[in-house]
Amino acid sequence: MLRCTSCGNTYPEKFMLRCKCGAPLNLIRHYSGKFKDFLRTQFLDIRRYLPLLGGDLQFYPQIVPPLTPVVEKKIHNIITLFKLEYLMPSGSFKDRGTYITIAKLKEDKIKEVVLDSSGNAAISLALYGLSEGMKVHIFIPKHTSKGKKRILKILKAIVHEVDGDRMETHIKAEEFKGGVYVSHWYNPYFLEGIKSFAYEFFEEAGEIDYAIIPTGSGTMLLGAYKGFEELYKFGEIKTTPRLIAVQAEGYESLLPMGKRKNRLAEGIAIPYPPRKEEIIEAIEKSGGMAISVSEEETMNAWKKLISMGFLVESTSATVFAAFEKLISKDYFEKGSRILIPLTGSGLKNLGEMMEIIMGGKTI
Ligand SMILES: [Zn+2]
């Protein structure tokens, strides 16, 4: 069932974004038994976890998100575990949420959808939607990178450019009447798909002390937290990892808003996320914290990640910038094990990357 995060009203599992009171909804499911008993071990992709993600097998999309690798590196006596989410079919972790969302939309016979996005969620929905014969309307801010816009056109999405920021784009998309609005900021099925990130990481790398998560709308943080909480309830982990939410300077929702804008973090430039209260609760319950990173810190971290062989987009570098900032403050205990997800591919906006890195251009 779906339950309202504010008033507690419940609804049957149909595709819907908000409660009548306007607040976001969450899927509530209870599992008993052992985690391993739920796994479909014949699969080495997201289908491994489907009994925990819900839905009807016949509706799952043809494109299947794979298991993404984990790369371990020892940095200043800390064990860092980079999870390469940018190797997903559409180049970002959003494919996990899209996969479950599309299955639900198909089950409910919805064929025309509307989404607003800074790029990655849009590309993911357009890719999966195209292969399933859906009509996909995408609202993006005009300043979205050219590379991402080109991919959306290749994927036959109907692109609506909004001359405004990320929040204005969200309002325009919600007002549009040409299809069912599927905002991943609200969509409870999207979060349910992201849960698989935590299951998968646990199977690959075991327990960790911290997870450093890029946090704009909070989909990755909330989805991962839900997955880790379930692993805790199954008795698989002793405690949920402490969540460190990374925000972009000038767009903070969890910290006082910085005066300068971090323009290298378009993916998390979301100052008013609808699930803010849930994000705060997850961070507090896990014993974590929020941290903001500047454009300069993001740029330096991005260059380092590329030199380490991780061809990610600049938003993804915010987590490594936060890691370095916290290392310099001796925040982590020696020997800590830290999950650092690398969420989006750098190949989508290679042109902009070249201009910034090779040409010395500042955006
Ligand atoms: Zn409600």
The ranges assigned to domains in the chain are: 1-30, 70-92+193-357, 94-181
Q: How far is the CA of 28 from the centre of ligand 1 (A)?
A: 14
Q: What is the pLDDT of residue 20?
A: 97
Q: How far is the CA of 2 from the centre of ligand 1 (A)?
A: 11
Block mean pLDDT (10 aa), the chain, length 363: 96 96 95 96 97 92 98 96 98 98 97 92 97 97 87 96 91 95 96 98 98 97 98 97 98 97 92 96 98 96 95 96 97 97 91 70 48
Q: Which of these, 301, 145, 276, 294, lies nearest to 216 by C-alpha position? A: 276
Q: Tell me which H or E stretch contains 341.
A: strand 337-342
Q: What is the pLDDT of residue 166?
A: 84
Q: How far is the CA of 349 from the centre of ligand 1 (A)?
A: 39
Q: How far is the CA of 6 from the centre of ligand 1 (A)?
A: 5
Fold match flag (70-92+193-357 vs 94-181): yes
Q: What is the pLDDT of residue 353?
A: 73
C-beta separation of 91 from 139 below 8 A: no
Q: How far is the CA of 276 from the centre of ligand 1 (A)?
A: 15
Q: Which of these, 150, 144, 146, lies nearest to 163 by C-alpha position? A: 144
Q: What is the pLDDT of residue 359?
A: 60
Q: How far is the CA of 188 from the centre of ligand 1 (A)?
A: 14
> Distance between CA atoms of 152 and 119, rounded to whole angstroms?
9
Q: Which residues contact 214 (CB under 8 A, 6 or more apart)?
A: 220, 246, 265, 267, 268, 315, 316, 318, 319, 341, 343
Q: How far is the CA of 75 from the centre of ligand 1 (A)?
A: 45
Q: Which of these, 103, 93, 38, lies nearest to 68 by C-alpha position? A: 93
**Residue type present at position 72:** E
Q: What is the pLDDT of residue 360?
A: 56
Q: Outline where DSSP puts E strands in 242-333.
A: 242-248, 289-293
Q: What is the pLDDT of residue 298?
A: 96
In this structure, which CATH number among 3.40.50.1100, 3.10.180.10, 3.20.20.190, 3.20.20.70 belongs to the domain 70-92+193-357? 3.40.50.1100
In this structure, which CATH number among 3.40.50.1100, 3.90.1150.10, 3.40.50.720, 3.90.110.10 belongs to the domain 94-181? 3.40.50.1100
Q: What is the pLDDT of residue 354?
A: 75
> Distance between CA atoms of 261 and 241, rounded to whole angstroms?
29
C-beta separation of 264 from 220 below 8 A: no
* Bridge partner residues of 363 (DSSP): none
**Cα separations in angstroms, 107 against 13, 57, 75, 194:** 11, 10, 46, 19
Say if residue 143 is exposed, middle or buried (CB neighbours under 10 Å; 0-12, 13-18, 19+). middle
Q: What is the pLDDT of residue 239?
A: 96
Q: How far is the CA of 12 from the centre of ligand 1 (A)?
A: 14
Q: How far is the CA of 24 from the centre of ligand 1 (A)?
A: 8
Q: How far is the CA of 248 from the centre of ligand 1 (A)?
A: 30
